[in-house]
Structure formats: structure tokens, C-alpha cells
Amino acid sequence: MNLAALWRLPLVFVCQNNMWAEHTPIAAYAPSTALAKRAAAYNLSATAVDGFDPIETWRVLGEAVDRARTGGGRPS
């Protein structure tokens, strides 16, 4: 993610958060379970969406792809 941000690569990262890392619950090793907020450390935009809502997921993913294609993935 760091290299993608430095090189301004037109990528969309998708993270499926099931609240576990192998055998450890995320709350046991991370102070925040909101993984989308980690994108700010790389100056990248991020959106969290309920993956069980296919229409909303499709809409948000489409917006992310459009941002990547137009070079708008990094907030100003």
C-alpha cells in the first residue's frame, strides 16, 4: 500500500474484514477494528461498506474504480 501511494498507482484495494487474523481476534492486537481508517496513514481515500449488501458494495466499488481510473484516489 505504501509503494502504491508513493507511485500513485491506479489500484483499488479490497479488504474483507472478518474480525480475525488467523486465530486471533482483531480486538486482541489492534486498538481500532476500523481497518478502512488505516488508509489515511498512506494519504489514500477509503470507504467501508457492508459486504452483505451487494447493491451498495457494487456502487462503492464502482466509485472506487472510477476514482482510480481518473487519478482521484488520493485526497487533496
What is the model's pLDDT at position 68?
92
CA–CA separation, 23 and 67 (whole Å): 35
What's the average pLDDT block by block, 10 residues per block, for the chain (76 residues)?
90 90 89 89 92 96 94 65
pTM: 0.76
Q: Are 27 and 39 in contact (CB under 8 A)?
A: no
Please give the grid coordinates belonging to residue 40.
Answer: 489515511
By CB atoms closer than 10 A (0-12, 13-18, 19+), residue 31 is exposed
